[in-house]
Amino acid sequence: MGDISENPENMFIHPENDPLSEVFAYYSLKARVYSTPQVCGAWQLNPSGVHAAGFHLIMEGTCWLHTRSDDGALDMPVLLEAGDLVFLSEDVWHMLSAQIQLEDELNDFGEVGSGETTSMICGAIEFPTAAAAGFLGALPALLHLRATSRPDGLDLATLSSLMCLEVETRQPGHSLILDRLSEVLVLQVLRHALKTRIVRRGVLAAMTEPRLLSAVLAIYSQPGHPWSLESLARHAGLSRSILSQRFLEIVGDSPMHHLAEVRMIRAEQWLMEGRLSTATIAERLGYADEASLGRAFKRIRGVSPGHVRRRLPVEPQSRPH
């Protein structure tokens, strides 16, 4: 993006462009395939407690999905078929099994060659920052998207076929391709969530409100601009009171506090990358100096920018020839 002074008329990413891609990239969500189990017989898998969020895509066969309600009781098992997707926006207890009833909560891969074979692709979603986890947390904790039912036009068939092909052929580069396709899958689910309006709060929910989205994208596209509540409201075509009210109702935060959070997301990303000095980061994000950035960072993140710097891996020194 160019400097604000270069062309003020084109400084914003407008809602008619691609807000989902813009915000997704801002949070730097990553997805990867961590397992492609092929099981048969009386098997059961417990993937809970391992990853912050993830998905299971059924490639072949059928199985049962077991979940728990808030009181800890087991819900009615749900049958999963080839092409079905289970998407978890957070780490909730769940198990997959060949049997409608569970024996226990342990992993059992069954006996090779015994009974129906079930193959699946299991992926993890990684959050580089706590804010990224909150972004995805606006979704329901668990979504079951059936291969045979796409009322909103969501079609994962082509994507599923590509992922299955990579798993089956194991061609060079298949791991990297699977990870990239996993990120596409996450975007497909987010698109589905927007179309079906199952997201009620957070930045994702704001994407269904054009004027509110205009203010949100102004914050994300130019976090270093000296925004005020008045200038954001003017950009969105709303009064200050209406913008504040809608922002709180939909995003769950005030506009100015969200701006500060977005600045800290970007600051944390740049600090972790290690390429920019703290002074440069402060300047880019609209702070008068390092000290001002440091105070804001400490207040919102609870640690200093230097603390984040010290967590960076040390570059190995080259040996003298």
Lowest-confidence region among 120-129, 152-161, 170-179, 230-239: 152-161
* 23 pLDDT more than 70: yes
The per-residue pLDDT for 12 is 39
Scanning 32-155, the segments in alpha helix (DSSP H) are 130-136
CA distance 113 to 116: 8
Q: What pLDDT does 231 receive?
A: 96
**Is residue 167 very low, low, confident or very high in pLDDT (cuts 50, 70, 90)?**
very high
Residue 73 phi, psi dihedral angles, 5° rounding: -75, 145
Contact 65, 80 (CB under 8 A): yes
**Euclidean distance between CA atoms 228 and 71, whole angstroms:** 45
Question: pLDDT at residue 310 above 90?
Answer: no
Q: Are strands 30-35 and 94-97 parallel, antiparallel or unpaired?
A: unpaired
Q: Please spell the DSSP secondary structure of 73-86, one letter per residue.
A: PBPPPEEEETT-EE
∠ CA 267-223-266, nearest 5°, is 20
Question: For 98-120, what is each residue's pLDDT tens digit?
Answer: 999 998 888 888 776 677 899 99
Q: How confident is the model at residue 11 (pLDDT cuts 50, 70, 90)?
A: very low
Rg, C-alpha atoms of the chain: 23
> For residue 65, what is the enclosing H or E element?
strand 62-67
- The 8-class DSSP code of residue 312 comes to S
Other beta carbons less than 10 A from residue 105's beta carbon = 11
pLDDT at residue 208 in the model: 85
As a whole number of angstroms, the distance between CA 199 and CA 2 comes to 32
The distance between the two most distant Cα atoms of the chain, rounded to a whole number of Å, is: 68
